[in-house]
Amino acid sequence: MSASPLRPLPAADAGQLPRRLLTALACAAVEPKLSGVLLFGLPDAHLATVAAVLDRLLAGPTGTPVPRTALTAATTDEDLWSRPRVSRGPHGIDFALDPGPLTEPVPGPSLVVVPDLARLSVPGKRAAVQLLGADVATVEQSGLRRRWRPAARWLAVCRTEDVPRVSPHLLDRFPLRLTAPDLSIRPGDTPLGPLPAAWTRALDRARSTGPRPPLHPADDFASRVLELLDDQDGTGQRRALALARTARALARLDGAERLTADHAEAAATLLRLRSARNPSTEPPPGPDTVDTARGAPRILPGPWPDTDRRPAPGTPVLEPGPAEPIGLGRAAGPWPTTDTPYPEDTAGPPPEDSPLRTPARRTTGPRAARGPVVGVRPARDLWDLAPVRTAMEAAKYRAVRDRSERLVILPGDLRGYVRAPEPVRTLTLVLDHTCREDWDWHAALAPFLHWAYVTRAPVHVVEVGGRGAPNEVRAESFTALSTRSPRIAAALARPPGRATPLAHGLQLAEQTLRRAFQHHRAGLVEALLVVVTDGRGNVPLAASRRGEAGRDAVGRTGIDDALAAAGRISGMDRTRLHSLVVDPGRQPYPELPHLLAEALDGRVVPGRPEHEAADRGR
């Protein structure tokens, strides 16, 4: 890239997506605090190219690639933080525990690539939360302890329709975000365009270890940053700092001596903040080369010409894709994502309950993903070695094997963990409080709770229409590790509220079940879904997403949305998922629970004692 001919940016080209992306990547390379680049909707085929560009920006003129790690849905903690190394040496097997790739054992920046942020494994997501933007990071794993200042840059991709699936907590860690579904790259060495000479010099300075001239903000800089933020009263300070640091990165690329409000505006334009797109605040069109004597940017990423293909605000960037199989299903319904860096701000319910927590189970352990350790035995292969027991076994024979100080580990010393198979069962309980009236549902639910107690199943409770809910048009959910949790008793005793967001409740149940199937994989032997409802959902899913009831008549929308959500659940693994609808027997719509059970591909269980009496009478 640096070998290509350098030329000033043509103004007509400056607003194109490749140029914006190159600018964002250069900002990440020049500014260590801009450690996360998140691309919404980037076509899969382009990820390798974009990663290669960032790699070269970080590597510099030597062209030696920086260390690179890819995190996927299969990433486990053991892949990330420590790396056992067993090798055959002249005196037998050498054994060592090295720092893992995320602990950045090699000085200098490295690159972490996440091809699909929504489907990243829970350990991968937790690692991202720990490392992205952190001042210091710590690892304490299996005898390894290390503290370092993270310098890795993360390049992640998230499909537009998957945004609701990703925790806002995780999204918030990415300071640089671009929507890039229409990215077109050019063949050759400069797929995103040539790198200006000034940027090459700035990147070289960033890579050098010596002190660099300070770049202090002008008096009006901070005020301008806050004015430019889309959500000036929003939670947290990360967006303000991301905008300010992006401005500083642009100033560094530009070789400026002072950080000014112009840089803040250029950064807002780069990130597509709404305020920067507002004609009243957008700088007037003109050449992108301005006088640097006044400290203003020489090369700005904007203003963008009208030829830019960005969609108008409010226009969905991507149409929802086709349905997907269980475990990796897409979010329900289209997500109104526009060309904004913060799509999670669009009105909608939280993506799921505690997405960064390991799904609940009764038998946890450091390696619980493969079952708890129940013993140690001679190793049959080099997977899942027990390092301490291996070393201890070798240490016993040290004196007789070798009179030198070395510890020799022979193949016969290798020990591996014995792990118990880990059957996991889960109970998902959807409680529609508005169907209870005078019905005491404890007796009807007792068999299911008893099953959960006996099988040690965690209980995921979804509450629909409970009085005192923070938002009455949304369902609430929580996970209890056991049936003895007082939260379950409290939920069962909760009085009814006014609205029945049944569709949202079933959507929460769907997300929980998908997550359980995805995380526990083959370990999940049985999942029981129990829906206690009369089926009279009166809140459309869209209203739950918005968080407020609309003024128009709802009609059957709430019921139809609930049936649609139930239909999605019915597409899951029928051999392991069993669905039941407990019918309170309310009039005048006794058929609704049956319709719901049909949509769930489950069956109806009569809930009221009258039904039991009738059954006995028959």
Interaction residues for other proteins, span 137-166 (CB under 8 A):
137-145, 147, 149
Total residues binding other proteins (CB under 8 A)? 80
CB of 60 to other proteins, least distance (A): 19
Q: Which stretch binds other proteins (CB under 8 A): 153-161, 480-488, 510-518, 561-569?
A: 480-488
Half-sphere exposure (Cβ direction) of 400: Cα atoms closer than 13 Å? 5
Binding of other proteins at residue 523 (CB under 8 A)?
Answer: no
Cis peptide before 303 (omega within 30 of 0): yes
Binding of other proteins at residue 353 (CB under 8 A)?
Answer: yes
Buried b (16+ CB within 10 A) or exposed e, 210-229: eeeeeeebbeebeebbeebb
Of 356 and 613, CB closest to other proteins = 356
**Identified binder of other proteins from the candidate list 10, 236, 334, 590, rule CB under 8 A:** 236
The Cα–Cα gap between 520 and 410 comes to: 35
Backbone angles phi, psi at 323, to 5 degrees: -65, 155
Q: Which stretch binds other proteins (CB under 8 A): 128-136, 501-509, 554-562, 582-590?
A: 128-136
Q: CB of 232 within 8 A of CB of 222?
A: no
Binding of other proteins at residue 221 (CB under 8 A)?
Answer: yes
Binding of other proteins at residue 356 (CB under 8 A)?
Answer: yes
**Identified binder of other proteins from the candidate list 5, 88, 135, 319, rule CB under 8 A:** 135
Q: Residue 94 class from Cβ within 10 Å (0-12 exposed, 13-18 middle, 19+ buried)? A: middle
Binding of other proteins at residue 556 (CB under 8 A)?
Answer: no
Binding of other proteins at residue 97 (CB under 8 A)?
Answer: yes
Site for other proteins in 161-190 (CB under 8 A): 167-169, 172
Cis peptide before 588 (omega within 30 of 0): yes
Of 82 and 200, CB closest to other proteins = 82
**Identified binder of other proteins from the candidate list 33, 205, 419, 546, rule CB under 8 A:** 33
Length of the chain: 618
Of 58 and 122, CB closest to other proteins = 122
Beta bridge partners of 182: none
Binding of other proteins at residue 285 (CB under 8 A)?
Answer: no
Site for other proteins in 569-588 (CB under 8 A): none
Site for other proteins in 384-423 (CB under 8 A): 387-389, 391-392, 395, 398, 405-407
CB of 403 to other proteins, least distance (A): 11
Binding of other proteins at residue 77 (CB under 8 A)?
Answer: yes
Q: Which amino acid is at 153?
A: R
Q: CB of 132 within 8 A of CB of 71?
A: no
Binding of other proteins at residue 136 (CB under 8 A)?
Answer: yes
CB of 169 to other proteins, least distance (A): 5
Binding of other proteins at residue 294 (CB under 8 A)?
Answer: no
Handedness of CA 477, 478, 484, 487 (dihedral sign): negative
Site for other proteins in 369-388 (CB under 8 A): 387-388
Cα 222–Cα 227–Cα 229 angle in degrees, nearest 5: 100
CA 232 to chain centre: 24
Binding of other proteins at residue 240 (CB under 8 A)?
Answer: yes
**Identified binder of other proteins from the candidate list 478, 564, 594, 595, rule CB under 8 A:** 478
Q: Which stretch binds other proteins (CB under 8 A): 127-135, 197-205, 520-528, 568-576?
A: 127-135
What is the DSSP track for 508-577? HHHHHHHHHHHHHGGGEEEEEEEEE--S---S-HHHHHHTS--SS--TTHHHHHHHHHHHHHHTS-TTTE
Residues 6+ apart with CB under 8 A from 218: 258, 259, 260, 261, 295
CB of 258 to other proteins, least distance (A): 11
Residues 6+ apart with CB under 8 A from 405: none
Of 325 and 486, CB closest to other proteins = 486
